[in-house]
Structure 1
Amino acid sequence: MYDDDDTTFSLVSTASVTDATSITTRTELELDHGDEDAGFAGVSDVTSDFESGWEVSSGPSTSVPPSVYEDEIAYGRRYHGFRRGIYPMPNDEVERHREETVHALFLQLMGGHLFYANIGDYPQKIIDIGTGIGIWPIDVADQHPSASVIGTDLSPIQPSWVPINVRMFIEDSEEPEWLHGSEFDLVHFRQMTDVLRDLKGLLTKIYPHVKNGGWVEFHELRTEIRCDDGTMKDDDPLRVFLDTVKNGLRVYGINILAITELEQILRETGFSNVHCITKKVPISTWPRDKTLRALGVFMKTTINDSLGAMAAKPLAALNLSPEQRVAMLEAARDSLQDDTIHRYVNCCVCYAQKREGHFAESLY
């Protein structure tokens, strides 16, 4: 099932590792079981005393660096230890719940499809970059037993029991080397354009490893709050909060405009047959349509679960005091509960194909 070039893998597989939630410290568990934002006013910015100095070797005998498992604790939340600090969102139970909700939202939005790209009935190689809890590659592997499915992430938070055709690896996707072989039918990203520093560079690295006729696909929720009927004021606390968070992400070197440039970047890196579908997703249950109301519940839950995390590192990067961050957070949460405001966000599914030379037969 696995190609010979897969033997070059040198990163850390989590397939035989227990779930990360089972190796948390006592302090971490206390924080996780309390209010997820408790750290702002009463808990200092606590981190463990491990100093990360590990690099992932390109050799096949790479051992597990301790930084993979020694998570950072800050603002009452848990963050990845491997390549500590480059990704400003947590990997704890609150974030796990948010990822599960986002997965359900996309399934609802896409009519039960896990992706739109036409990869045929018997794909061989699929990879999910920034897999998080690993729910997408696990579902894909169940649907496509012919495929070797890979998930990569900075955090070892994927389950220890996965389908036999799934492997999980811990890595920084923006490192220069590509260590997963070639001939991929599909390379998948979910909510990654707003956290990557160099999307164009990453796609340039990936392109040679996609098979001729293979695909890349992005599933993105844009965090720009919109309203078409005037029920949202210009100073809406939720919109102000998210706009401020974007400025905090810039401090981390993240290109928050990448989603607006995605179609152009795909073409510039060699992909063609680009499809970008944008759909409005309501926030809360204000629409009359039953399907839209269901989407609104998912979106409201997703945003609510992410507010505490965004009020931590991203707002702290702007040198806002704990009191300022708490005030902004509480105002945003109060505003989120107001169903008379007809807010929505745009969801984008963008997929593109690699075609080199003569591609004899259309896939459609």
Structure 2
Amino acid sequence: MYDDDDTTFSLVSTASVTDATSVTTRTELEHADDDIDFEIDDATSDFESGWEVSSGPSTSVPPSVYEDEIAYGRRYHGFRRGIYPMPNDEVERHREETVHALFLQLMGGHLFYANIGDYPQKIIDIGTGIGIWPIDVADQHPSASVIGTDLSPIQPPWVPINVRMFIEDSEEPEWLHGSDFDLVHFRQMTHVFRNLQGLLTKIYPFVPVVADAPPFPTLETVANYWEDRHVKNGGWVEFHELIFEIRCDDGSMKEDDPLRVFIESMKDGLRVYGINILTINELEQILGEAGFTNVHCITKKVPISTWPRDKTLRALGVFMKTTINDSLGAMAAKPLAALNLSPAQRVAMLEAARESLEDTSIHRYINCCVCYAQKREGHYAESLY
């Protein structure tokens, strides 16, 4: 267990976004409930508006930045438009909810494995999506200030009082919302970052940034050679990943299986955007190279569909099938379009993949991985698992 950290936690932002209509353009149907007047007692409420805009202290962010992009019949983020080729619409929301349920079952109800102690102070979720993970963590750890960051303001407008949501590109050179985090969490983000190595190096605190940095810095040399980064001494970073490689151990899947071909083509399309989906071994290696220790990578096979006899595996198979089915349409849009495939070709591949997904005689699975690692300190705190 770690000693309590009573450092005051401050958030840096230029504006507080309290009205979802000022952040994103929604349809008339989505506006239907906006006229409901919720009366909330500030003195007793456990929830508050959690949106804030993460930008430079003197930067004015135009409202147009937050207008969603509509393409291929799907909705995409408006902030840093076009850098992430997956949508943020209701289908994606449903997929994220399913993935959350899948990992909860896979991890025995745990939201993370890292041993951050009973009273953590600061937790951040990078690429939070709909914000379901930080909200659950905040409920379980009321001692902690919990942050979620994302390119899209699609999180609930009312969240627990110890939660803040930031609109941010986490691959920007600097983060603006604090340091000394007990836990930095990522879920399904290794297929998003263009430079995961650089990001992990950035969040590892007080590491020399040039070769000739002095080993014992003064206040003057700190400014010249060192960067204030984001994981506290003894803090943890944790990844929850679906490794997008369709596998089969019993020979029931052919090499030209339409679902497998579709996923491999999607990965080729992501490479056009500069995104490479990592393997588990690569993730473990990158964590070590960034300076982290106590590296643990737990891999579990999760079936696709209901072909296993075991009831628990069948339930996981339902979650995985739903997740993949919800993902296929998004994958057929920007990623496959990046390969210069015609609409007819993309539709044909999509239909073939969905038909193959329904075939329970093919015993396919995907590896799910939980990797967590610790920032070095004088002694190593034990992990929970």
Q: Distance in 1 between the 2:108 and 2:90 partners?
A: 27
Cα distance, 1:66 vs structure 2 = 1.9
For the 8 Å contact 2:13–2:56, the answer to whether it is kept is no
Query: Deviations 1:207-242 (Å, cap 9, x if unpaired)?
Result: 1x2111110000000110001111111111000000
Q: Distance in 2 between the 1:256 and 1:266 partners?
A: 15
Stretch moving more, 15-24 or 282-291:
15-24
Stretch moving more, 21-30 or 161-170:
21-30
The counterpart of 1:38, out of the listed 32, 36, 39, is 36
Q: Distance in 2 between the 1:162 and 1:44 partners?
A: 15
Q: Distance in 2 between the 1:246 and 1:161 partners?
A: 36
Cα distance, 1:359 vs structure 2 = 5.2
Moved over 6 A (4+): 1-15, 21-24, 26-30, 33-40, 43-57, 360-364
Q: In structure 2, do the counterparts of structure 1 residues 362 and 213 end up closer, same or farther at CA, with 3 Å as the change threshold? A: same
Q: In structure 2, do the counterparts of structure 1 residues 20 and 135 end up closer, same or farther at CA, with 3 Å as the change threshold? A: same
Q: Distance in 1 between the 2:341 and 2:46 partners?
A: 25
Cα distance, 1:257 vs structure 2 = 2.8
Cα distance, 1:110 vs structure 2 = 0.3
Q: In structure 2, do the counterparts of structure 1 residues 294 and 286 end up closer, same or farther at CA, with 3 Å as the change threshold? A: same
For the 8 Å contact 1:18–1:160, the answer to whether it is kept is yes
For the 8 Å contact 2:126–2:170, the answer to whether it is kept is yes
Cα distance, 1:36 vs structure 2 = 24
For the 8 Å contact 2:124–2:181, the answer to whether it is kept is yes
Cα distance, 1:137 vs structure 2 = 0.2
Q: In structure 2, do the counterparts of structure 1 residues 190 and 163 end up closer, same or farther at CA, with 3 Å as the change threshold? A: same
Query: Deviations 1:301-352 (Å, cap 9, x if unpaired)?
Result: 0000000000000000000000000000000000001111110000000000
Residue 330 of structure 2: aligned partner: 309
Larger radius of gyration: 2
For the 8 Å contact 1:11–1:56, the answer to whether it is kept is no
For the 8 Å contact 1:226–1:344, the answer to whether it is kept is yes
Stretch moving more, 89-98 or 180-189:
180-189
Q: In structure 2, do the counterparts of structure 1 residues 7 and 198 end up closer, same or farther at CA, with 3 Å as the change threshold? A: farther
Say which SS state the counterpart of residue 331 (structure 1) adopts: helix
Stretch moving more, 122-131 or 174-183:
174-183
Query: TM-score scaled to structure 1, two decimals?
Result: 0.85
Q: Distance in 1 between the 2:346 and 2:367 partners?
A: 26
Cα distance, 1:179 vs structure 2 = 1.7
The counterpart of 2:240, out of the listed 219, 226, 241, is 219
Cα distance, 1:2 vs structure 2 = 18
Cα distance, 1:356 vs structure 2 = 3.0
For the 8 Å contact 2:236–2:375, the answer to whether it is kept is yes
For the 8 Å contact 1:36–1:77, the answer to whether it is kept is no
Say which SS state the counterpart of residue 281 (structure 1) adopts: strand
For the 8 Å contact 1:9–1:60, the answer to whether it is kept is no
Say which SS state the counterpart of residue 211 (structure 1) adopts: strand
Say which SS state the counterpart of residue 165 (structure 2) adopts: strand
Q: In structure 2, do the counterparts of structure 1 residues 352 and 359 end up closer, same or farther at CA, with 3 Å as the change threshold? A: closer
Q: Distance in 2 between the 1:51 and 1:313 partners?
A: 35
The counterpart of 2:181, out of the listed 173, 184, 187, is 184
Structure 2 unmatched runs, 5+: 205-229
Query: Deviations 1:147-188 (Å, cap 9, x if unpaired)?
Result: 000000000001011000000001111011122222110000
For the 8 Å contact 2:121–2:144, the answer to whether it is kept is yes
Q: In structure 2, do the counterparts of structure 1 residues 14 and 56 end up closer, same or farther at CA, with 3 Å as the change threshold? A: closer
The counterpart of 2:73, out of the listed 69, 73, 76, is 76
Q: In structure 2, do the counterparts of structure 1 residues 6 and 48 end up closer, same or farther at CA, with 3 Å as the change threshold? A: closer
Q: In structure 2, do the counterparts of structure 1 residues 19 and 297 end up closer, same or farther at CA, with 3 Å as the change threshold? A: farther
For the 8 Å contact 1:36–1:76, the answer to whether it is kept is no
Q: In structure 2, do the counterparts of structure 1 residues 219 and 9 end up closer, same or farther at CA, with 3 Å as the change threshold? A: same
For the 8 Å contact 2:5–2:121, the answer to whether it is kept is no
Q: Distance in 1 between the 2:4 and 2:41 partners?
A: 49
Residue 128 of structure 2: aligned partner: 131
Q: In structure 2, do the counterparts of structure 1 residues 44 and 185 end up closer, same or farther at CA, with 3 Å as the change threshold? A: closer
Q: Distance in 1 between the 2:195 and 2:130 partners?
A: 23
Stretch moving more, 281-290 or 14-23:
14-23
For the 8 Å contact 1:46–1:73, the answer to whether it is kept is no
Q: Work out the number of aligned pairs and report it.
A: 359
Cα distance, 1:67 vs structure 2 = 3.9
Structure 1 unmatched runs, 5+: none
Give me the CA root mean square deviation: 8.2
Cα distance, 1:44 vs structure 2 = 47
Q: In structure 2, do the counterparts of structure 1 residues 258 and 341 end up closer, same or farther at CA, with 3 Å as the change threshold? A: closer
Q: In structure 2, do the counterparts of structure 1 residues 153 and 284 end up closer, same or farther at CA, with 3 Å as the change threshold? A: same
Residue 90 of structure 2: aligned partner: 93
Q: Distance in 2 between the 1:54 and 1:108 partners?
A: 29
Q: Distance in 2 between the 1:38 and 1:72 partners?
A: 27
Query: TM-score scaled to structure 2, two decimals?
Result: 0.81
